[in-house]
Amino acid sequence: MAQKVVLLDLMASPFGAKVRIGLAEKCVEYDRLEQDLSNKSPLLLEMNPINQKIPVLIHNGRPICESSIILEYIDEVWTENSQFFPSDPYERAHVRFWIDYIGQNIYDKASAFAFKTTSGEMQEAAKKELVKCYKVLEEELGDKAYFGGESFDAIDITLIPFYAWFYSLEKMGLKMREECPKIVEWAERCMKRETVSMSLLSPERTYEVVLYLRNKLLSGN
Ligand code: GS8
């Protein structure tokens, strides 16, 4: 059967980037529909009525929501290329744990530091929290090339989208290379994969988005 794959997406979103990388790794062809979240499309509201968020993968007319669930779905449906998740149940649970850890921590803490806190004191506290999480992840990475060992796996796909923010974090006073050198080396290694580099918004464009969101917060709109 011909596969019709559509992604409701936002180029600046790390959750969207996670799905874009997954699809690129599996060489899946798809139509990407950029969404305006300030004026949600009828299609987005129809496909994700509960959360009303991107990304949404629409496969042959049926929606799959939530980036981590989409990533597992992609891995299960397109099995030709290398797998993102290990087949062993224990190892699979381990991968899911770290995906959950990233989902629970990195976006909230990075956005708190970059554009969700107003006072310098709050921003400094958010910076410490973010660095603490990255250090935990650095410990888990250890001396491995990827979180998946020799192979680029679901944890790598989940975390690497946040690399697009490193330039913004640096501009705002967080020196990631000094704080977490192994994470920066790992990210640079991941960025050598075309599937990753083509899926991320440039650091400069990301910084523009961060500044836009920060100004929006400060002006109260
Ligand atoms: C998060 C998606 C998300 O926050 C996932 O897919 O992993 N847990 C979800 N999407 C945001 C854009 S990225 O900041 C979104 O769609 N927001 C719209 C809204 O909150 O109304």
Judge whether 20 and 56 are in contact, CB under 8 Å.
no
221 has a pLDDT exceeding 90? no
Per-residue pLDDT tens over the stretch 71-89: 999 999 999 888 999 999 9
**For residue 34, what are the β-bridge partners?**
9
Ligand 1 centroid to residue 53 C-alpha, Å? 5
Per-residue pLDDT tens over the stretch 100-113: 999 999 999 999 99
> In sequence order, which residues have a C-beta less than 8 Å from that of residue 26 and are 6 or more positions away?
74, 75, 78, 80, 81
User: Which domains are seen in the chain, by residue range?
Assistant: 5-77 (3.40.30.10), 89-219 (1.20.1050.10)
> Which among 40, 48, 54 is the best mutation to test ligand 1's pocket, defined by most ligand atoms within 8 Å of the CB?
54
Task: Kindly report the average pLDDT of the chain as a whole number.
Answer: 96
Judge whether 196 and 17 are in contact, CB under 8 Å.
no
Count of all residues that appear for the chain in the document: 221
Looking at the CA of residue 35, tell me the nearest atom of ligand 1.
Answer: 16
Say what the pTM is: 0.96
Judge whether 29 and 35 are in contact, CB under 8 Å.
no
Looking at the CA of residue 107, tell me the nearest atom of ligand 1.
Answer: 14
